């Protein structure tokens, strides 16, 4: 119903661009989706943050890798779960905080 109303409004004009008129059956639509679809995901949660006493923790709250000197994890892998928005901004904030911590350490 939404698309029918939108087409009546004149907002959508011209021929269908994707997948095109040649794709019409459920099987053809599924085949087209499998061909063109890609997953865009951001890896998070791979480097759990926590105290060294936590066997699941990879990095400290200062982003230092437990058991390894002079190595920090400065990316979204320290986040416990994926946010619903763009992951670029949290990555920039993590980097900003890490830069301050590194500067303060030196």
**Which of helix, strand or coil describes residue 9?**
coil
Task: Please state, in angstroms and rounded to a whole number, the distance separating the CA atoms of residues 75 and 50.
Answer: 16
Task: Please state, in angstroms and rounded to a whole number, the distance separating the CA atoms of residues 55 and 23.
Answer: 52
Is 42 designated active site? yes
Residues in the chain: 106
Place of tokens 């006493």: 53
CA angle 53, 55, 56 (to 5 degrees): 125
Q: Which of 32, 42, 82, 87 is catalytic?
A: 42
Active-site annotation, residues: 42
């Amino acid at each position: 119903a939404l698309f029918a109303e939108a087409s009546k409004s004149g907002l959508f004009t011209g021929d269908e661009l994707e997948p095109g008129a040649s794709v019409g059956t459920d099987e053809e639509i599924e085949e087209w989706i499998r061909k063109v679809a890609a997953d865009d995901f951001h890896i998070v949660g791979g480097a759990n943050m926590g105290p060294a006493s936590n066997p699941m923790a990879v990095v400290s709250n200062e982003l230092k890798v437990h058991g390894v000197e002079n190595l920090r994890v400065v990316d979204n892998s320290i986040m416990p779960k994926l946010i619903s928005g763009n992951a670029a901004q949290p990555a920039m904030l993590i980097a900003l905080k890490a830069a301050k911590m590194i500067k303060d350490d030196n």
